[in-house]
Structure 1
């Protein structure tokens, strides 16, 4: 069992840190809103710290799951950031979905301080975090990954090294690109079925058994048809991720026409007041 720090206790980080504690690790948590850290300690034990630098003292592994590039920089190298307090040879594991550019920037700084760095974005949503069934796609040195992977296993159903630092983030972009088109297609299918006077449950029961079937169809068709969008990853965060996808596509000379179009559809959903709705809310612009 290891001494760990977990920085960021949002809808994903809160249960992930709990899985680490339940696995027997010694966990210290930090959150920008200290009330969340207090609530985590009350629910799980362990201890909290007032700054990232204090939280990481003596930790073998430091995990982060925050909001965006700027948030990640702040907890790593800001005032009393994690890097300043980490022990020699400790490994920083970043579960935030951020740009590959900031990942490589921070990894270089970490290496200069004698620290390991693994970018490890996650997929599986809030339910996956709560159930310990996340997909974790990693980038970094083999030795750092080999050390971190058994610990990550507390909340992962799969954890794979995809390449050097940044490869995890690029793989997460593949994930978001695939989801964007899929949710739009499902939204159009369900909206079409409604307007055609078909019974949604019967339609899904039939088509889900063939090539059209997907996790989104199985788990979201009922709430989408009912106009209920309080079930996970928010539109605002998806637009942040799609902006990273589109910027990365320019860097590698890839064409993402469907992703660019769906990003604009999500912008419309934001304009409807749905920025905090979950990503299945794409159907709202077709049915309201």
Structure 2
């Protein structure tokens, strides 16, 4: 029989909301907090409509009090600091022996800082950023990259399986965040290549659907090609993972690479391209909007 836990869940956005819903569906007791109370209330109503009864906390500390496991899924380093270490933050209320899991994409420095702080307070921490987007969160098929002690990751695995299809222990605290940086670097480079390939295809007068069929079965195939080629051709970008969030993630990746004495010219270039998209008003559009900065050419 699956073990059920008392879980404090902090952050009910497009990723966190579905993830917390899966935990309710798995039988866990959830006390949730979201900075915007109206979003928390709307989430709670949707869960009530499905027969569940979550609790809504007034502060992160209230969500964490007495919990076996505390999970965060917020925006960036600053947001995570606010819900963990600031006044009324969760870390002041997490009990000794509990487990903290962070699904936010943040800097590796922040992950290590929280792990050190957790150790001082006698509870465990796992940094576990996710990949798969809103659809992956809603369908429970996220890929989760985990940093922390193996025993802690195994404790977390039983809970994360409610929304994760692939859960991999990468290494020590901070390693999950570094793996997510590598993930974002790969996506950025792939979208840069896809943008140029689509422009070439259309300018040459080829049928984009036929070209996709021809090349998606070979070495060029990728998730981005399968899922974004048609919408990039159609000029549809008002969905998915926002450019602003990608720029945040690439900023963390470039900072970590610099700390390690590495050069990342492709990532730097694509990040500058995303800065152009931001200037064009596309900060909230999907990362595939990268194609917008390329001229359509002659056809």
Shorter chain as denominator, the TM-score bin is: over 0.9
Deviation of 1:40 after TM superposition, in Å, equals 1.2
Structure 2 distance, partners of 1:13, 1:256, is 31
Structure 2 distance, partners of 1:197, 1:234, is 30
Structure 2 distance, partners of 1:125, 1:204, is 22
Which stretches of structure 1, 4 residues or longer, exceed 3 Å deviation after superposition? none
Task: Pick from 231, 237, 243 the counterpart of residue 235 of structure 1.
Answer: 243
Task: Pick from 75, 84, 98 the counterpart of residue 92 of structure 2.
Answer: 84
The SS at the match of 1:6 is strand
In the TM superposition, what whole-angstrom CA distance separates every residue of 1:194-214 from its partner, at most 9, and x where no partner exists?
Answer: 111111111101111111111
Task: Pick from 164, 171, 179 the counterpart of residue 163 of structure 1.
Answer: 171
Cα distance change of structure 1 residues 109 and 76 upon mapping to structure 2, 3 Å threshold:
same
TM-score (norm 1): 0.98
Structure 2 distance, partners of 1:144, 1:202, is 48
What's the counterpart of residue 175 of structure 1? 183
What's the counterpart of residue 2 of structure 1? 5
In the TM superposition, what whole-angstrom CA distance separates every residue of 1:72-94 from its partner, at most 9, and x where no partner exists?
Answer: 01100111110111111111100
Map residues 16-165 of structure 1 onto 2, 5 A cutoff.
16-44=19-47, 45-165=53-173
Structure 1: any 5+ residue segments left out of the alignment? none
Structure 2 distance, partners of 1:111, 1:287, is 53
Task: Pick from 187, 211, 219 the counterpart of residue 219 of structure 2.
Answer: 211
What's the counterpart of residue 17 of structure 2? 14
Structure 2 distance, partners of 1:6, 1:191, is 43
What's the counterpart of residue 249 of structure 1? 257
Structure 2 distance, partners of 1:140, 1:159, is 13
The SS at the match of 2:117 is helix
Deviation of 1:251 after TM superposition, in Å, equals 1.1
The SS at the match of 1:37 is helix
Structure 1 distance, partners of 2:140, 2:262, is 33
Deviation of 1:287 after TM superposition, in Å, equals 4.0
The SS at the match of 2:294 is helix
In the TM superposition, what whole-angstrom CA distance separates every residue of 1:119-150 from its partner, at most 9, and x where no partner exists?
Answer: 00000011111100000000111221121111
TM-score (norm 2): 0.95
The SS at the match of 1:24 is coil
The SS at the match of 2:101 is strand
Deviates more, 1:231-240 or 1:249-258: 249-258
Matched, 1:285 2:288: no
The SS at the match of 1:17 is helix
Structure 2 distance, partners of 1:76, 1:249, is 26
Structure 1 distance, partners of 2:134, 2:96, is 33
The SS at the match of 1:5 is strand
Deviation of 1:103 after TM superposition, in Å, equals 1.0
Q: What RMSD over aligned residues (CA atoms) do the two structures have, in Å?
A: 0.9
